[in-house]
Structures are given as structure tokens and as C-alpha cells.
Amino acid sequence: MNEISLKMLKMAVSAFIDGNITLTKEVAELDDQVDNHYTKTYKNITEYLREHPEETAQLVQLLFINRYLERTADHITNIAESAAYLIKGQIYDLNQ
């Protein structure tokens, strides 16, 4: 999730600087990948938590990290939306 988010950020900034609308759409596609990773990771952590309640403190922290990474990708997608608006002059909702 971290690597994908970093790639998304580079693409969103490049889209803004270069006026490349295609990159904004690619950012949205990568956000979908992050969302999928988030869902899988959430399920894995919560299943593990049921089996190992003695590790609750650490696992809750992992759940927070998982959520923060997912939200980071959403914010980067918002940057791409702003870039798309500047490029085309219309509002795009890439967070679907």
C-alpha cells in the first residue's frame, strides 16, 4: 500500500505539472488497488485478533496504520482530481 501510494503521489504531481489528464485516471486505478489491499489486510488482522486477543494493542495499531495508508491514497486521488480540474476545467470524481 505504501509503495502504491508513493507511486500515486508522483503521478498526481506529474499530472499537475505536465497537464497530463491520463495520469489522473491512472491514479484513480491505483487507488482501487490500495482499497483492495486495505480490505484484505483488515480481514487478515481482525481474524488474527480473534485468535490472539493477547496481542490486541499491537494489532489495533496495525489496523490504524492500515486505515491511514488507505486514507493517504484517497487524499492523493483528491490531488489528482484537482489537477484534472485545472487541466480540463471540469470536476472529476475519481474516488468512486
pLDDT of residue 15: 95
Q: Which amino acid is at 70?
A: E
Q: What is the pLDDT of residues 37-96, one digit of tens each?
A: 999 999 999 999 999 999 999 999 999 999 999 999 999 999 999 999 999 888 877 776
11-50 core/surface letters (b: 16 or more CB in 10 A; e: else):
bbeebbeeebeebbebbbebbeebeebbeebeeebeeebe
Residue 3 half-sphere exposure toward CB, CA atoms < 13 A? 1
Residue 31 lies in a domain: yes
Is there a domain that residue 93 lies in? no
In a domain, 96, yes or no: no
Is 45 inside a domain boundary? yes
CA 11, CA 84: separation in Å to the nearest integer? 12
Residue 71 has a CB neighbour count (10 Å cut-off) of: 13
Q: Is the pTM of this model over 0.85?
A: yes
